[in-house]
Amino acid sequence: ARAQAVEVARLRHLAAAGVRVPRVLHVDEEFFVQDWLGDVRLDKRLRRRREALAWWQRGLGTLVDVHARGQYLSQAFARNFIASDDALSMIDFEDDPLEVMTLDEAQARDWLAYLHASALAFHDKAPAPQAECAALLRAAFAGERAPVRRLVLETAQRLRWVLRLPVGSGRGWRRHIAILQMAVSLMLAAETQTTTRPRTQR
């Protein structure tokens, strides 16, 4: 019941801020009804090599837009972005990160979740050369607020050590290490010239 109350409240609040989320149509004690946005999830789009990069870039832009409205998501995984026409809507809000963290941390958490989910979708089949992905990420990330950028980059620096782990064939448990390495590489690629804190030398 509490999770439902949180999700309904968050959906309404996000919608009022202009974020693309399902409309709440009816609320009962044991259930609620919302718009059906379809089943074309972003993680599926990211596995279609020919269109993956464009949809990944839309995801980046969506995060920047949501944060510019002073909002944040709950679980910013690619599976929770629904593709409709050329735009993305978000679902899954049964928790409220602001109950345990600041707005800056919640927005940084959105980036970490999205980049990790991207790495999962891109594993073994990146949609474009790494330099092109990095350039798109830096361009989008430059539109983010400085405190949020700093938190993401500090996290990337603290996780840099995983890049030294051997992954071999990238199968089994090594696959998870390979995905994490790609996620950390994406986080590090987000560094821009506007970042004031120098990178830590290891």
Helix ranges, 33-129 (H): 42-45, 49-68, 103-122
Q: Is the pLDDT of residue 51 over 60?
A: yes
Question: pLDDT grade, residue 123 (50/70/90)?
Answer: low
pLDDT of res. 92: 94
Distance CA 105, CA 112 (A): 10
Cβ(83)–Cβ(41) under 8 Å? yes
Q: Is the pLDDT of residue 199 over 50?
A: no
> What integer best gives the mean pLDDT of the chain?
88
Question: pLDDT grade, residue 102 (50/70/90)?
Answer: very high
Q: Is the pLDDT of residue 156 over 90?
A: yes
Question: pLDDT grade, residue 173 (50/70/90)?
Answer: confident
Q: Across residues 91-112, what is the average pLDDT?
A: 96
Which range has highest mean pLDDT (10-24, 122-136, 169-183)? 10-24
pLDDT of res. 201: 44
- Which long-range CB contacts under 8 A does 193-199 form with residues at least 24 apart? 194/142, 194/146, 194/149, 195/149, 195/150, 195/153, 196/146, 197/150, 197/153, 197/154, 199/153, 199/157
pLDDT of res. 198: 43
Q: Is the pLDDT of residue 89 over 70?
A: yes
DSSP bridge partners of 41 = 82
Question: pLDDT grade, residue 62 (50/70/90)?
Answer: very high
pLDDT of res. 197: 46
Coil, strand or helix: which one is 126? coil
pLDDT > 90: percent of the chain: 63
Q: Is the pLDDT of residue 70 over 80?
A: yes
pLDDT of res. 129: 54
pLDDT of res. 200: 46
Distance CA 62, CA 7 (A): 20
Q: Which two tokens stand for residue 1?
A: 């019941």
Which of 81, 73, 72 minimizes the C-alpha distance to 43?
Answer: 81
